[in-house]
Structure 1
């Protein structure tokens, strides 16, 4: 068991990471993000340990981050990580006063996410080369992303045993290891089954990867980077100038549902958002789309 060195940043950061993993059951990516935030605090802090920091020093560090040009959104996100860190230190009785408690987040702007129009998604799909081994798999990936609004981490972790195609649902384990049922459309089911029956069953699968739906040619589950590369390559071929990523399909999924009149709570459940305020950005996007439509087509505009 590691020795408790209460005079080092390393000890508190290690304890925080263990807490995030064991008690909050966060993913490795989320834990790394929190760690980066706390390491940034350590880099800027003059205090020898996190429990020696005062609220005035925190304010000074935020001012420095602002002066180097860090956006208010980035500052707010980092401060959120620090607040979680100090909430943990309070919980474990390492300190009695939270230096971040009275620190307010910088004023942020809600960034409207980039979305694809339906015809752009169709153009992108048309650029898939089905003569290649990975063509059917890539079509299935795009259909599932757009049909279900998955995060890239949820896509690559999707397991065959959680695909209930006959019932029209897939079971997803999202952030915080929370499980949700998401409807899956007929086109996505069609191409996922086609991939399973014509391509995946010919792959020599590595031990431990048997249940993952999407595999690379080496028989291992796809990496996040590979999914980004697949989509970027297809977007270039389709002549789409927007930045296209797995999250673009998630945004498009939500936006098109809202535009079609879907209930906000239903969209929240399908996306796996903890708070409906996160989902509400798509209502703003819908309004922006409507305004753009009026400006473009109304004779008085």
Structure 2
């Protein structure tokens, strides 16, 4: 079903600019807005190539969305979770267009999300985490990975930590404008606090950067560089798992689960809005099920 324009017809490139302004007003973080912009612009580029002409927002139909899904599956080889993320972005884009009176109805109204296989994510054991961190010889990145592993904060939250965000008196890390634009305070263990004091005293390069983890040349750290260092460390430690910066956060949560930490506490530490998100970290092992069965004594 074709959407109908209420105000003057608006081209996709105009709609994208309006959408990005709308996201900024809603207080979303720069990283979140960047993700939405990339996904929505990918669709706009695909629509332009398909039409071989400038595309008006009201021209987009449900059939176009379904064709886009087929393109993502067939040509781009995208996974269901990735496709659903792009569809959620487009849903928000057309929601914005509807609120701005550019269209009457969203073309995604009847579009179903793809079924995501219920597979457990990769996580590292305690020994694997220690081996990887020990294999990172770059001093700044060594303590960066250590902080992620011992605090569970997101890689972007770690990247954007300022010197003033780490409070050694309170033994806490203040996350400013985390995912969803939310702030939270994460406790530091005594071990992490001790290690970060060593980092500041002996390993942080002399720089004017306000970031806690700063490289001499750039004054900051990038996600790509962190992941490359982790890949090298895995090879040195003979660990064959596909490890990214997010796996350190995942392993933090999984380790707390293994220590019988209440899921609500893990939720708060990770900064999740709902327990449903936290539940992906609740790995159920065969031994756990066997132990549970042995407890039954009717």
Please give the TM-score of this superposition, normalised by the length of structure 2: 0.85
Q: Quote the residue 2:14 is aligned against.
A: 11
Tell me the distance in 2 between the aligned counterparts of 1:140 and 1:74: 31
Maintained 8 Å contact 2:28/2:181: yes
Higher deviation after alignment, 40-49 or 71-80: 40-49
Tell me the distance in 2 between the aligned counterparts of 1:7 and 1:92: 11
Q: Quote the residue 1:90 is aligned against.
A: 98
Query: For residues 231 and 64 of structure 1, do their structure 2 counterparts lie closer, same or farther at Cα, with a shift above 3 Å needed?
Result: closer
Which of 51, 62, 66 is matched with 1:55 structurally? 62
Q: Quote the residue 1:291 is aligned against.
A: 286
Q: Quote the residue 1:261 is aligned against.
A: 260
CA RMSD in angstroms comes to 2.3
Per-residue displacement from partner, 1:217-266 (whole Å, max 9, x unpaired)? 23612222222222222222111111222111000001111111111121
Maintained 8 Å contact 2:123/2:250: yes
Aligned length: 277
Tell me the distance in 2 between the aligned counterparts of 1:44 and 1:140: 42
Maintained 8 Å contact 2:57/2:102: no
Tell me the distance in 1 between the aligned counterparts of 2:135 and 2:14: 51
Higher deviation after alignment, 158-167 or 65-74: 65-74
Query: For residues 75 and 213 of structure 1, do their structure 2 counterparts lie closer, same or farther at Cα, with a shift above 3 Å needed?
Result: same
Alignment of 1:111-122 (within 5 A): 111-122=119-130
The secondary structure found in structure 1 opposite 2:121 is: coil
Per-residue displacement from partner, 1:104-151 (whole Å, max 9, x unpaired)? 11111244221110011122233344xxxx43x333222211111111
Query: For residues 220 and 76 of structure 1, do their structure 2 counterparts lie closer, same or farther at Cα, with a shift above 3 Å needed?
Result: same
Higher deviation after alignment, 41-50 or 28-37: 41-50
Q: Quote the residue 1:169 is aligned against.
A: 172
Maintained 8 Å contact 2:19/2:93: yes
Whether 1:102 and 2:105 are equivalent positions in the alignment is no
Query: For residues 61 and 186 of structure 1, do their structure 2 counterparts lie closer, same or farther at Cα, with a shift above 3 Å needed?
Result: same
Cα deviation, residue 280, structure 1 = 0.6
Q: Quote the residue 2:40 is aligned against.
A: 38
The secondary structure found in structure 2 opposite 1:114 is: coil
List alignment gaps of at least 5 residues for structure 2.
1-6, 291-298
Per-residue displacement from partner, 1:29-78 (whole Å, max 9, x unpaired)? 32232122222322343482122222233233324433444332222111
Which of 70, 73, 77 is matched with 1:66 structurally? 73
Query: For residues 105 and 227 of structure 1, do their structure 2 counterparts lie closer, same or farther at Cα, with a shift above 3 Å needed?
Result: same
Alignment of 1:200-215 (within 5 A): 200=204, 203-206=205-208, 209=209, 211-215=210-214
The secondary structure found in structure 2 opposite 1:182 is: strand
Query: For residues 128 and 227 of structure 1, do their structure 2 counterparts lie closer, same or farther at Cα, with a shift above 3 Å needed?
Result: closer
List alignment gaps of at least 5 residues for structure 1.
296-301
Please give the TM-score of this superposition, normalised by the length of structure 1: 0.84
